[in-house]
Amino acid sequence: MSAPATTEREHVTRSRANPGGMDVLEVLGPEVRPLRERKPPWFKVPPPGGARYRELTELIKSENLHTVCQEAACPNVGECWERGTATFMILGDTCTRRCGFCNVQTGKPTWNDPLEPARVARSIARMGLRHAVITSVDRDDLPDKGASAFVGVIRQVRRQAPECQIEVLTPDFQGQEMPLAKVIAERPHVFNHNVEVVPRLYPIARRGSEFQRSCRVLRLASEMGEGEVTTKSGLMVGLSETHEELVETFGTLREHGVQVLTVGQYLRPSERHLPVVRYWHPDEFLALEHAGYELGFEHVAAGPLVRSSYHADQHVPQARPGTGPLAGVGPASRG
């Protein structure tokens, strides 16, 4: 069965700036940043468009795949794709949830392609990755919440690119243990589930999700992995949280067995999304990094442009040498 064309959408992404009719300024405060303004200089990145970027764009398009790099409008897409890495987003490009910060479309998903795992793995093999990240939209409509698709990708990658390390960035599976157990049983090298924001902000930023439920997922993943799976989570700043709130949240994640932590700046995708309260300075991210290491995390990546999958190959030890995610040279250079 072939995947339905992504142009056949029966939904329109609705505004997320006032979830459930809430006045988000009561939570964020009245002083928020305008959507269109000159950002601080540390956000300047070169626009995508190099040869490697174009090559990977065509590869991903030809395989009818989705990447979170594109769907979430990641600011690092140019750098990462020039390095030859991408975070693959399985199960389509339509999410059943409606987080206030996320640029991925929301609505009723129709994607159903049993051959997707094989195509993702084939692309990973062609790209020569030594560390691949697999994520997905939330699929609360599926009986196993999409867990079997993660299992399929892990197995296919092990067949087609056996030397590649595998990181999965999953939804919370609505807190159900069996879908999680299915994924962990495949022993991905890294299990990542982002809590995204401090607990106080969940009502406006993560409707349909629960902070304690996400923490439980991370704890269970650590226990089920029996020391063979590294656990990881990430947060954003810029939505009125304080340094103290973040450090307290870090501590809760450590108590639930999380080993790797990422922290980055929230950037508002459109006027339909939650506004930015402030831009954190690089020195403040450095303070967060120090706090994370003091709490016992094995690796902490904190910075304005840090995203959960940015330089993910550097977050865990690698058996294969290299300065980036590439296991070898790009297909165009192999002759």
Measured in degrees and rounded to the nearest 5, phi and psi for residue 133 equal: -110, 130
Lowest mean pLDDT among 124-138, 214-228, 302-316: 302-316
pLDDT digits 0-9 by tens, 129-179: 778 899 998 999 999 999 999 999 999 999 999 988 899 999 999 999 999
Nearest to 84 by CA among 64, 44, 104, 54: 54
Helix ranges (DSSP H) in the chain: 25-28, 51-62, 68-71, 77-83, 116-127, 147-160, 177-184, 202-205, 211-225, 243-255, 282-294
Angle, to 10 degrees, between the axis of helix 147-160 and the axis of helix 177-184? Answer: 0
pLDDT digits 0-9 by tens, 43-101: 887 666 667 677 777 777 777 777 766 655 666 666 666 655 668 889 988 888 888 77
| 335 SS3 class | coil
